[in-house]
Homo-oligomer: A and B are copies of this chain.
Amino acid sequence: MAMLHTVNKSPYQCNTLESCLNHTQEGDVVLLIEDGVYAAAKGGRAADALAAAKGVKICALSADVKARGLDGRIIDGVEIVDYAGFVDLVTETDKTQAWL
């Protein structure tokens, strides 16, 4: 019973990612979209919190990564997926929760 969580806010501005990670279960997937992708940028303070997340798979949406100039700047362990991959994540998990 895995769940897909989407997070669309910058972790530097909002606590959305933090709250999401506090409610994930082992086997869940967190997909960073829109301004949420900044969490996975190398060298940033937020990247540490993300790297510390245990038992969940972290993905980031390529369209948003590229739009923001973060191509090549994403930390190891975060999988870049395109929109087709986003759709796959939705269908491969049992349900989706948007952390708005």
Q: Contact residues of A with B, CB < 8 Å?
A: 12-16
Main secondary structure of the interface of A (DSSP, over half): loop
Most B CB within 10 A of own CB, among A12, A14, A16: A14
Instruction: Please report the C-alpha to C-alpha distance between residue A46 and residue B5 in the assembled complex, in whole angstroms.
Output: 27
A12–B13 CA distance with the chains assembled, in angstroms = 11
Listed A/B pairs (6) with beta-carbon separation below 8 Å: A12-B15, A13-B14, A13-B15, A13-B16, A14-B14, A14-B15
Complex CA distance for A15 and B16, rounded to whole angstroms:
12
Q: Which residue of B lies closest to A11 (CB)?
A: B15
Query: Shortest CB–CB separation between residue A18 and chain B, in angstroms?
Result: 11
Contacts of A13 in B (CB 8 A): 14-16
